[in-house]
């Protein structure tokens, strides 16, 4: 019950990592604002979680993020924690990217994280404290074929988070970063299916061979360290990037 009584605002929570964080955070005694571009998916996540609300948000829109954060704050009366995780995957050689496609990648990941900071931090400052975990990736740390704009966006999130963490530390707000390896979610399953010639399990097994633990991760294996970083267990930890990748980046 390490997050008992706390309120979490999370984006991308209709699926994958943020849904797992919303589920675990609720099991740990908190309540969650489940925001996603896909409102039906957000509602599905929230329906199983005691005290949760579902919100529609497009994290590339300043107005939409402002409204979603405002609605969550109005409903719960406070926001203690945040996990801005909305994201997209898109691979191609760099010469095939239009500027519009590139900007979509940057504005979804880096812009979405920036907007969440912009509208959540004043609330946390007024409360004299809060905790945020942002989502980078091993792609922020090592090169991956056809994934340069994603890697750039994720590296941007890493440094944006560290910079802001320093700015708000004296206000009692902690900001940490999680950098997952390959985790089986709605984002990666189509990639595993493609890699496995139509066979999800085969493709996931092939993807897992890239790391010393010889398997891909499951969403709750990210949710557990995220909920630790959001909780008071991590009360002296800020600006830290926790790599959770089955050892992928140590070899």
Ligand X SMILES: NC(=O)c1ccc[n+]([C@@H]2O[C@H](COP(=O)([O-])OP(=O)(O)OC[C@H]3O[C@@H](n4cnc5c(N)ncnc54)[C@H](O)[C@@H]3O)[C@@H](O)[C@H]2O)c1
Return the residue of 7, 59, 115, 158 that touches ligand X, per CB under 6 A. Answer: 59
188 binds ligand X (CB under 6 A): yes
Q: Could you say which residues in the range 99-128 bind ligand X, by CB under 6 A?
A: 108-109
Residue 65 lies near ligand X (rule: CB under 6 A): no
Shortest distance, CB of residue 18 to ligand X, whole angstroms? 6
Is 150 noted as a catalytic residue in this protein? yes
Taking CB under 6 A as the criterion, the residue among 180, 203, 208, 246 binding ligand X is 180
Closest to 12 measured CA to CA, from 70, 84, 64, 80: 84
Nearer to ligand X, 176 or 185 (CB): 185
- Binding segment toward ligand X, per CB under 6 A, in 21-29, 35-43, 72-80, 193-201: 35-43
39 touches ligand X by CB under 6 A: no
Residue 205 binds ligand X, judged by CB under 6 A: no
Q: Does 26 bind ligand X (CB under 6 A)?
A: no
Binding-residue total with ligand X (CB under 6 A): 30
Give the residue numbers marked as catalytic.
150
Binding site for ligand X (CB under 6 A): 11-12, 14-18, 36-38, 41, 57-60, 85-88, 108-109, 135, 137, 180, 182-183, 185-188
């Amino acid at each position: 019950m390490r997050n008992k009584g706390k309120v979490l605002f999370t984006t991308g929570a209709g699926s994958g990592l943020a849904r797992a964080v919303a589920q675990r955070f609720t099991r740990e005694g908190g309540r969650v604002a489940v925001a996603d571009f896909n409102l039906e998916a957000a509602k599905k996540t929230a329906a199983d979680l005691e005290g949760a609300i579902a919100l529609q948000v497009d994290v590339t829109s300043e107005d939409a993020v402002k409204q979603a954060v405002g609605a969550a704050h109005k409903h719960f009366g406070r926001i203690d924690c945040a996990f801005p995780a909305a994201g997209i995957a898109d691979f191609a050689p760099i010469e095939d990217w239009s500027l519009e496609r590139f900007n979509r990648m940057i504005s979804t990941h880096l812009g979405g994280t920036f907007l969440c900071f912009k509208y959540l931090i004043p609330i946390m400052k007024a409360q004299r404290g809060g905790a945020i975990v942002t989502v980078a990736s091993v792609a922020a740390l090592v090169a991956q074929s056809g994934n340069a704009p994603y890697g750039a966006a994720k590296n941007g999130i890493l440094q944006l988070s560290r910079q802001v963490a320093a700015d708000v530390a004296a206000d009692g707000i902690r900001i940490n970063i999680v950098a997952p390896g390959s985790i089986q979610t709605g984002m990666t399953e189509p990639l595993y299916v493609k890699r496995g010639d139509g066979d999800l399990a085969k493709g996931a097994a092939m993807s897992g061979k890239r790391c010393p633990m010889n398997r891909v991760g499951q969403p709750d294996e990210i949710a557990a360290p995220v909920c630790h970083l959001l909780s008071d267990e991590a009360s002296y930890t800020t600006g830290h990037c926790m790599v959770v990748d089955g050892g992928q980046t140590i070899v």
